[in-house]
A and B are shown apart, each in its own frame.
Chain A
Amino acid sequence: MRKLPDGRYVDETPWSDDQDLSALERSDMDAPNWVLVWRKFKRHKLGLISGIFLLLSYLMLPFAGFIAPYTPNERSAEYLYSPPQSINLWHEGSFIGPFVYPTEATADLVNYRWTYETDTSQPMPLKFFCESDSYNIFGVIPSNTHLFCAPEGATVFLWGSDRLGRDVFSRILYGAQLSLTVGLIGITVSFALGIFFGSIAGYFGGKTDWLINRVIEILRSLPELPLWLALSAAVPSNWGPVAVFFIISIILGILDWPGLARAVRSKFLSLREEEYVRAAEMMGAKPGRVIRRHLLPNFMSHLIASATLSIPAMILGETALSFLGLGLRAPAVSWGVMLNDAQNLASIEIYPWTAIPMLPIIFVVLAFNFLGDGLRASLDPYKS
């Protein structure tokens, strides 16, 4: 294929008579749906990059403990509110590999805060694949090998340390495990409820439809956050972190389904009149089978795209709840729990790095938005 100066394309392979252009079996015209979707999605650069970013983030989750130099609740009592340290490669003009400078805290009794002094005379190289505190890969396999850790007598706080001297960088990695999965569990709940109610409303119509529709309208007209707050206030305070995590994700999902149910319902209303549905019914298919085998596959992909767009709302919801102290609670680590520390103006002014967890939140939410937009745009492969 060559492009002429006037913008036309010319195929350089010589003409052969064996090639039948009208053949049905042309792979480029008859590709399965997902190939068409993928082809179109590839052109949506922002969506593609976001997709890769999210994929990497989720793949990282089981190995958070390996990448993080510290464990989430490991305290360095000598280093409270330590500012971010940089990893350097060159010391006084000579290359010695990744190293950090040791820092020392002194109490500033006038301003009543810690000040840190960096001792730039002695570089301390980082240790790689070193052994330190133990953690679990995938939550089950115990291990204590870390990708890198601090040299003896120094610290490696890439993004600073918080009020209790815990490493912000490590905590962000661990926090991702909860913050990123909360949206997935929530969306599963909302998906199940939305498809169930939406499809029975759309398929059966009549009184069922009326009832479900009213419920949808009522739930949609209520502000989510106060209800989330009220529901999570009802979670008993003696439950363990895991139980709280699950119940919070379910709470996030419970109020989200009406939008999805509405989309499913309106689609069903038009699809149930199609001939193939009638045919299936004539052949004795039960409603459950018609819905699952004949109707849902029609627009499953659209549903997935719209689900992608509502995950960010749940991630933000978890953050808000934890931030207000009604969501996940310490010792659980999530981005919202971490931001709970950055709740006042003083910490933003004096210790701006405690607000760093907002960056991953913004990136993940943006990525989900772009990915959803990209998916939605490419799901109709025949539309230019």
Chain B
Amino acid sequence: MMFIRYAIYRFITMLLTLWVVSILIFVIINLPPGDYLSNQIAELRATGQAEGVAKAEFLRTEYALDRPIWEQYLIWVGMAPGPQGWYGMIQGNFGWSFEFDRPVSEVVGDALWLTVLVNLAAVLFVYMVALPLGVIAAAKSETWVDYTAAFVGYLGLATPNFLLALMLFYYGNKYFDLPIGGLMAPEFEGAPMSWEKVKSILVHLIVPTFVIGTSGAAAMMQRLRANMLDELSKPYVETARAKGLGPSKLLAKYPLRMAFNPFVADIGNLLPAMVSGSVLVSVVLGLQTIGPSLLTALKSQDQFLAGFVLMFVALLTLIGTMISDLLLVLLDPRIRYGARGG
């Protein structure tokens, strides 16, 4: 029961956070002077195309861009009636993309799921790599295993993601015949889900996952190693060794469990970095996630599209953080429910 109450509490704080974030995002996307339509109108005026101006003016009133900024915000979120009545994000209307001349939900479409997929794959990759490597590096600390792991980790941290992506793509294609660009072979785009399509997506995921995950994996591996080393120097480990416990059991039974906590708690730090990385890598590699649409939207001041994409990535990280908090409570009985006491 306590857990359910905590879960509800956590969910409500997430919603509140999301609300604050929506204000922040709205302010940011409205920072550039003017908007897509006013720019267009100015351009049309300058070139003397009067009929276009009327249409753009109509669109401006249609999307409430002529109202004060706070009213625009309320309409966008769906907390005030706009020209089409109560129809904002809360009601499931994500706005209109001026650049593509289609509703935002249609523009992003599949990209949402692919974004989630890419990030999930990257998170899985981080855990699958960091867990064994971190433990081994701690168990064999100050041997060549440790040093190699640290070296690779540092290199992963220091190489800019997008370059790693380009190089891996190039060499992966040259030596392992991995496909270049995109998240699936072109013939599957827009096709219904099938086994072949899934296979194609999986093959295309290899390089992006690796690229997005490397720096996260490196950081997490170092943290796990440090935690393990702390635990391994404690007297109870000595006792266990003295009593003749085998090396693998010695590691896994208690120290690993203790060192595991930050591992789950770290999702909160890991996810924002991952999402950042996936946006960048998607742009470079032309993955069909929402990264590229964010970039075009920002460059052309397509504010509803940009706003929605930013909201979506924020939501993604917030949900991830919430799940990690809940998992942490389930895993570690020492953590108390409810708000943190001072």
Contact of B268 among A221, A231, A355, A361 (CB under 8 A): A221
Q: Does A117 reach chain B (CB closer than 8 Å)?
A: no
Which chain B residues in 253-299 approach chain A with CB under 8 Å?
268-269, 271-277, 279-280, 283-284, 294-295, 298-299
Q: For the complex, what is the distance from the CA of A361 to the CA of B272, rounded to whole Å? A: 23
B77 to chain A, nearest CB (A): 17
Q: For the complex, what is the distance from the CA of A362 to the CA of B180, rounded to whole Å? A: 25
* New contact pairs (12) apart from A221-B321, A225-B276, A312-B157, CB-CB < 8 Å: A217-B17, A221-B268, A221-B318, A223-B273, A224-B273, A225-B277, A229-B279, A234-B32, A236-B33, A345-B180, A366-B154, A370-B154
Q: Which residues of A contact B (CB under 8 A)?
A: 205, 214, 217-218, 220-227, 229-231, 233-234, 236, 312, 316, 319-320, 323-326, 339, 342-345, 348-349, 355, 358, 361-362, 365-366, 369-370
Given A231-B28, A366-B158, check contact A223 B317 (CB 8 Å).
Answer: yes
Given A230-B28, A230-B298, A233-B298, check contact A222 B284 (CB 8 Å).
Answer: no
Contact of B170 among A205, A312, A319, A349 (CB under 8 A): A349
B137 to chain A, nearest CB (A): 15
Q: Is the CB of A223 within 8 A of B313?
A: yes
The 5 closest A-B pairs by CB, nearest first: A225-B276, A234-B31, A233-B298, A223-B275, A365-B158
Q: Does B306 reach chain A (CB closer than 8 Å)?
A: yes
Q: Is the CB of A234 within 8 A of B28?
A: yes
Chain A residue at minimal CB-CB distance from B158: A365
Residues of B within 8 A of A325 (CB): 299
Residues of B within 8 A of A362 (CB): 155, 158-159
Q: Contact size class for B?
A: 35 or more
Contact of B294 among A226, A339, A370 (CB under 8 A): A226
Residues of B within 8 A of A369 (CB): 154, 157-158
Q: For the complex, what is the distance from the CA of A187 to the CA of B207, rounded to whole Å? A: 32
Residues of A within 8 A of B342 (CB): 205
Residues of A within 8 A of B273 (CB): 223-224
Residues of B within 8 A of A231 (CB): 28, 31
Identify which of B88-96, B100-108, B161-169, B188-196 touches chain A. Answer: B161-169
Q: For the complex, what is the distance from the CA of A99 to the CA of B72, rounded to whole Å? A: 67
Contact of B317 among A214, A222, A236, A323 (CB under 8 A): A222
Given A218-B17, A222-B314, check contact A227 B28 (CB 8 Å).
Answer: yes
Q: Is the CB of B160 within 8 A of A319?
A: yes
A contacts with B: majority SS: helix
21 CB contacts below 8 A, A to B, read A221-B268, A222-B272, A223-B271, A223-B279, A224-B276, A225-B277, A226-B276, A226-B309, A227-B28, A227-B310, A229-B279, A230-B29, A230-B306, A230-B310, A236-B32, A312-B158, A326-B298, A326-B299, A343-B166, A355-B167, A361-B160
Most B CB contacts (10 A, CB to CB) among A230, A342, A361 go to A230
Residues of A within 8 A of B272 (CB): 220-224
Q: Is the CB of A365 within 8 A of B157?
A: yes
Q: For the complex, what is the distance from the CA of A323 to the CA of B32, rounded to whole Å? A: 21
Chain A residue at minimal CB-CB distance from B284: A343
Contact of A226 among B159, B163, B170, B313 (CB under 8 A): B313
A57 to chain B, nearest CB (A): 15
Q: For the complex, what is the distance from the CA of A1 to the CA of B279, rounded to whole Å? A: 60
Given A234-B32, A320-B280, check contact A226 B275 (CB 8 Å).
Answer: yes
Q: For the complex, what is the distance from the CA of A342 to the CA of B33, rounded to whole Å? A: 32
Q: Does B4 reach chain A (CB closer than 8 Å)?
A: no
Residues of A within 8 A of B321 (CB): 221
Chain A residue at minimal CB-CB distance from B322: A221
B112 to chain A, nearest CB (A): 15
Q: Is the CB of A348 within 8 A of B170?
A: yes
Q: Does B20 reach chain A (CB closer than 8 Å)?
A: yes
Q: Does B145 reach chain A (CB closer than 8 Å)?
A: no
Q: For the complex, what is the distance from the CA of A345 to the CA of B284, rounded to whole Å? A: 10
Q: Is the CB of B279 within 8 A of A226?
A: yes
Q: Does B111 reach chain A (CB closer than 8 Å)?
A: no
A349 to chain B, nearest CB (A): 6
Q: Does B250 reach chain A (CB closer than 8 Å)?
A: no
Residues of B within 8 A of A342 (CB): 163, 166
B162 to chain A, nearest CB (A): 6
Q: Does B64 reach chain A (CB closer than 8 Å)?
A: no
Q: Is the CB of B306 within 8 A of A358?
A: no
